[in-house]
Chain A
Amino acid sequence: KQEVTQIPAALSVPEGENLVLNCSFTDSAIYNLQWFRQDPGKGLTSLLLIQSSQREQTSGRLNASLDKSSGRSTLYIAASQPGDSATYLCAAITGRRALTFGSGTRLQVQP
């Protein structure tokens, strides 16, 4: 059974700082890995999807990497802004095409 872990659980940084969020998964036989953002009381917004054959994906200030052999993915946020404050979730997509989510990293960017 796939298990996804995210570290740290919470993070507070000053505005402008670069930061890395970590995600690890136990079963390397994944199809894709997806990163989401969730604002309080809201649904999930898809940020990046990395296919199992890819090493990284970039969108604006976000860069996500995937290392299947070690069961790790990282989300890099450059030049953080207060608007980046949210909970970030990673999810591994298994053969059933169902997402297994981590518990998330709650990010607070201080102005």
Chain B
Amino acid sequence: SQTIHQWPATLVQPVGSPLSLECTVEGTSNPNLYWYRQAAGRGLQLLFYSVGIGQISSEVPQNLSASRPQDRQFILSSKKLLLSDSGFYLCAWSQVSAGGRETQYFGPGTRLLVL
């Protein structure tokens, strides 16, 4: 069966510090991968998605970036964090089944607090 991991689970970082959040998927190959952010009191917002190694699409202009160095690894980074980067970051994966169904499955999330 497939599993998705995220780490760290929680993170407290000062403004201006760098960031690296990691997401890995097990039990599947060539998944679509996604990064979402859920800010306090707000809905989920898609940040990045990837359909293959080295292929990253950005949905929202910001000081964050994403990379996919391996098929089942997705990394969210920042060179200098802002207060507004605080939130709950969720990684997700999906694949299109033979019947055209594409369900997205989410990881446990990383709670980031920028002080």
Chain A interface residues toward B at CB < 8 A: 31-32, 34, 36, 41-46, 49, 51, 89, 91, 93, 96-104
Contact = CB atoms under 8 A, between A and B. Distances in A.
Contact of A46 (B45, B100, B103): B103
A41 B46 contact: no
Interface size, B (range): 20 to 34
B28 to A, nearest CB: 15
Contacts, number: 63
Contacts of A103: 42-43
Contacts of B99: 51
A45 B49 CA distance: 19
Interface of B is mostly: strand
A92 to B, nearest CB: 12
A46 B105 contact: yes
B14 interface: no
A101 B36 CA distance: 10
B101 A97 contact: no
